[in-house]
Structure 1
Amino acid sequence: MTKLKIAVAGAGLIGKTHLKLINESNECELTAIVDPSPQAAELAQQYNVPLFASLNALFDEAKPDGIILATPNKLHAEQAMQCVNEGVPAIVEKPVTQTIEEGFALFKEAEKHGSKILVGHHRAYSPILETAKQVIESERFGNPVAAIGSAIFYKPDFYFDEGPWRTQKGGGPILINMIHEIGNLRYLLGEIVGVQAMSSNVNRQFEVEDTTVMTMHFASGALGTFVLSDTACSGRSWEQTSLENKSYASYGDEDCYHIAGTNGSLSIPTMRMKFHDGNEEKSWWKPLALDTVELEREDPLALQLTHFCALIRGEAEPRVSIKDGLQNLLVIDAIVEASESKNYVEVRQVA
């Protein structure tokens, strides 16, 4: 099988991860890096590929089979639209665009062209989520009632020094981190139709928030709470509990989600389950049966790349489409509005 030619735009933190995965793949090969920074020149030399300062320069010379856009949020809409107009399949890192208006414009244009675009919510490829969804949809779990989630961790100073845009509007943890959690929760529990939230920036004192607490109303009637912070010394985040990304310190006894149903509950990702065994009346005075659901862990970013290759070859449909990415963004937009207004905000739904 001839290897697909993939380019990467953006040589930052996530871009470097994509470069490594492409280099290790049996299905594709790295053919170019697009980034005007001096650091990108070093990476291009390391991977022995040409370096371009812009997508226009890349497309003028040769179109790759696909491109991964791992650039700052503010560039997503413009660069994704370039890929749509040039007919080049792409992975657009989340958020799909920085603004709702840009998201709808991209969605409309991509639909018109039948474009092959994925949004980089890579956790959608996680075996943990797939296994958890099977449990939540089982009779042993019952109807979803409540969800408790957390993404509380500490980002080091150099994270902001290397990317000052992360301290400014559009670069806070709600957009960078929470949008992943929204994708997870929508996959597990269905659409989120309303939110409430409050935020603080008292610790980092950046323009953007460093801590947010929120509540969510799901279309099913289930309710959820979530705590987000990038300035908390804690290990209760997906990265630090899932064991999927070895670059993070991990704590196998910690969970980042607890989902409760009418018959049972599941803690994720330890996959510890408590449930009513059905032999007697349900009651908090009665002991629950215990179980640990088995699963196999794999790198979801590698699985996403495999899916992208299949999409390029016409063997698959987008698992996380622009529509999915836009709906995640609409929930995030509602969280931001709720945090600023201190009101309950209904979530707009993509038609």
Structure 2
Amino acid sequence: MKKIRFGIVGCGQISQVGHIPNLLQIDEAEIMAVSDINMENLEKAGKLVPGAEKFSDFSKMLSKSKADAVIIASPNWLHCEQTIAALEAGKHVFCEKPSGITLDQGEKIRQAWKKSGKTLQIGHELRHAKVFETAKEKIKEGLIGNIKMIRYSEFRKPLLPGWRQTGETGGVMLEKNSHFFDLFNWFADSSPQRVYSSGSNDVNKESPLIDNCFVTVEYENGVRASLTMCLFCEHGGENTFELVGEKGFLRIKNESLQIFIRETGEKLEMDSSLGNPEGMHMGCRRQLEHFMNCIRLGKYPLNNMDTTIQTLKLSLAAEESVKAGTIINVQNEDYLKKNISDNLRVVLGMEYKVKKIARDFSVDGNPAKSEWEEALELKISNWPWHDYAKYPVPEVSVKCLYSEKGIYVLFNVRERFILAKYTEYQGPAWKDSCVEFFAAPDKAGYFNFEINCIGNLLLHWNKQGEKVLVPAEDITDLKIKSSLGNAAIEKALPCPNEGYAVECFFPFTIFMKYSNVELPVSGKSWKANFYKCGDETPEPSWGSWSLVSKPKPSFHHPEYFGKIIFE
């Protein structure tokens, strides 16, 4: 039998522990290529598959490798773009869950798949785990009758550090709980109608995500499902899945299945473990075998775009219910698209609304002044080049306001060390503890404002690849103040416990002199990005608001800018 040749994008844990070892156990599979912008992960994957080509550029892997199928195992916010690119390149696609992080992205993937004529499967592996497959078979045999109630409890350790601990995943409901919601949908065999969630972050304070929740789902056929999840139970916790039918009760713990017959009290026990363990989680190898079988036979995968759109809706609605504190209609697509998309645009670095103020105010480095209370907050939460194993990422939030005269920007930063060796204007601020604002008022070019932690500025106007140093006489009305003061910090010091603030005022006169822009009016938008770096600090870091998909740290890519909208 001819082998199916695979390319893999995203060489982190799921590929190193899951996809690569699992494919190596399947005789009919061959790994031709691996791709990642993280060179360390790419090298690790290459060692697992010495014969595979290595690509730091996913598009080059698509065009140059001989892969028949592509596994998308990258961070959630890249799934839509990369799945569509692979389908358009004529590849079959196995995409890790979720199929996008908004309904719009899910629909875009669905349309691209329909147009492609290729096989597309989404990685909700629990449907393929032997124990859940066996449970489904026993239910079809009528052992417990019609299902009325479903419950899943997961008490476990926190999510892995890194991108999973950021808001751009779509939230815990999508990143983690979508596995359980997919099971709910499969066993209920109906469409979810209403969901109510209660959750919060009570222990894992270093994460912006909820770490515990209760979720209740109501289905069209009357089935009710309940999820209990805790992410701060490292010891003694377990996963339990339970179904109650008219005739009996079914319980799954790990790979053990128990069935209790209501009328007779009879207890049936079954061990559904596999002789050859699967890499990563139960169902992970079997889902790939299913995917390959669908490719060969032209079958519709068990985890297809119809099933995954329902899981996507439920996950997004459950996340919204936590925020709104109310019951959400899962099938109200207009509501989900509007409310959830608005939240995610800010989190992902797609859009940020800049509120207008009637009066200008003094810039003094004080982040607690009343003027900033009404400004929306965004976070620098994309750290694709960070070495999470060595040190934590800085905490950086940004607020913006504008007046008739210019833009106010406030950076709030907490990191472990601060460094500010450079005090002269146009010095290499990026080598110090540094925050940056890049703005493209129009298509002519963009400005890069780079400011170290004591307020020293580097400013260029970038036009068609040419960097123009903005002279000091052009910035007389520009104001920058740091809560740390302006004295040089020649040797790295511990950051104050409360962090530090860098407050800025960028007058429109600078933008208007070098670009063709006019004074912003309500509804006008600019392209922009916000960054944090520190090339020569004890803990170098490079982060952005809008994700920059490059293999090495590089901020000068206006194609990756987000949008700031003047209200």
TM-score range, shorter-chain basis? Answer: 0.7 to 0.9
Q: Report the counterpart of residue 129 of structure 2 in structure 1.
A: 126
Which position in structure 2 is the counterpart of 1:136?
139
Q: Which residue of structure 2 aligns with residue 180 of structure 1? A: 179
Q: Distance in 2 between matches of 1:314 and 1:140?
A: 32
Q: CA deviation at 1:138?
A: 4.1
Q: How many residues align?
A: 319
Alignment partner of 1:308 out of 291, 302, 306? 291
Amino acid at match of 1:82: A
Give the deviation of 1:81 after TM superposition. Answer: 0.5
Change (3 A) 1:151 1:317: same
Give the alignment's Cα RMSD to 1 decimal: 2.0
Q: Choose the corresponding residue for 2:112, options 109, 114, 138.
A: 109
Q: Identify the residue that residue 246 of structure 1 maps to in structure 2.
A: none
> Is the partner of 2:126 in helix, strand or coil?
helix
- 1:290 maps onto 2:266 in alignment: yes
Q: Distance in 2 between matches of 1:311 and 1:272?
A: 31
Equivalences for residues 67-82 of structure 1 within 5 A? 67-82=70-85
More strand by percentage: 2
Q: Assess, with a 3 A threshold, how the Cα gap between structure 1 residues 139 and 90 changes in structure 2: closer, same or farther.
A: closer
Q: Which residue number in structure 1 is paired with residue 310 of structure 2?
A: 327
User: Which structure has the bigger radius of gyration?
Assistant: 2
Deviations 1:145-181 (A, max 9, x none): 222211220137xx21xx2452334264322220000
- Contact 1:165–1:171 (Cα < 8 Å) also in 2: no
1:86/1:204 CA distance change after superposition, 3 Å: same
Deviation string for 1:80-114 (max 9, x for gaps)? 00012111001000011111111111112211322
1:148/1:224 contact within 8 Å kept: yes
What CA distance in whole angstroms lies between the structure 2 residues aligned with 1:98 and 1:32?
Answer: 26
- C-alpha contact (below 8 Å) 1:272/1:290 kept by paired residues: no
> Paired residue for 1:252?
none
Q: Compared with structure 1, are the counterparts of its residues 152 and 265 closer, same or farther at alpha carbon in structure 2 (3 Å cutoff)?
A: same
Distance 1:46 1:274, change over 3 A: closer
> Residues 214 and 328 (structure 1 numbering): CA distance in 2 closer, same or farther, change over 3 Å?
same
CA contact (8 A) 1:147 1:260 kept: yes
* CA displacement at 1:15 relative to structure 2: 1.4
| Cα distance change of structure 1 residues 20 and 69 upon mapping to structure 2, 3 Å threshold | same
Report the Cα offset of residue 195 of structure 1. 0.6
Distance 2:96 2:311 in 1: 13
- 1 or 2 for the larger relative contact order (CA 8 Å, sep ≥6)? 1
Q: Is the 8 A contact 2:101 2:170 kept in 1?
A: no
Shift of 1:319: 1.6
Match of 2:490 in 1: none
- Cα separation, 1, equivalents of 2:245 and 2:48: 51
CA–CA distance in 2 between the matches of 1:87 and 1:291? 50
In the alignment, the residues of structure 2 paired with residue 84 and residue 301 of structure 1 have an alpha-carbon distance, to the nearest angstrom, of 22
Alignment correspondent of 2:251: 267
- CA shift, 1:203, in A, is 0.9
Q: Distance in 2 between matches of 1:341 and 1:166?
A: 21
Q: CA, structure 1 residues 227+342, in 2 after alignment: closer, same or farther (shift >3 Å)?
A: same
Using the TM superposition, give the Cα deviation of residue 224 of structure 1 relative to its aligned residue in structure 2, in angstroms: 2.2
Deviations 1:268-291, CA, capped at 9 Å, x for gaps: 1432222233xxxxxxxxxx5131
Q: Secondary structure at the match of 1:233?
A: coil
The match for 1:244 is: none
Q: Is the 8 A contact 2:39 2:56 kept in 1?
A: no
Q: Which residue of 2 aligns with 1:258?
A: 242
Quick one: which amino acid aligns to residue 257 of structure 1? F
Q: Secondary structure at the match of 1:338?
A: helix
Post-superposition shift, 1:209? 1.1
Alpha carbons 2:258, 2:270 under 8 Å: kept: no
Matched, 1:147 2:165: no
Query: Deviation per CA, 1:185-244, whole angstroms, max 9, x where unpaired?
Result: 111112322110011112112211111111111222122221112222355544xxxxxx
Q: Distance between the aligned counterparts of 2:266 and 2:192, measured in 1?
A: 30
CA distance in 1, matches of 2:118, 2:163: 32
Q: For the Cα contact (< 8 Å) 2:247–2:261, is it kept in 1?
A: yes
Q: Alpha-carbon deviation of 1:348?
A: 1.7
AA at the equivalent of 1:267: R
Q: Report the residue type matching 1:75 in the other structure.
A: L
Separation of aligned partners in 1, 2:105 and 2:46? 31
Q: Deviations over 1:2-60 (max 9, x none)?
A: 32211111111111111111222201111111102122123214421221112211122
Listed as ranges, the gaps of 5+ residues in structure 2 are: 334-567
* CA distance in structure 1 between the partners assigned to 2:89 and 2:238 by the alignment: 38
Following superposition, the deviation at residue 349 of structure 1 comes to 7.8
SS in 2 for 1:289: coil
> Alpha-carbon deviation of 1:125?
1.1
Cα distance in 2 for partners of 1:338, 1:65 equals: 41
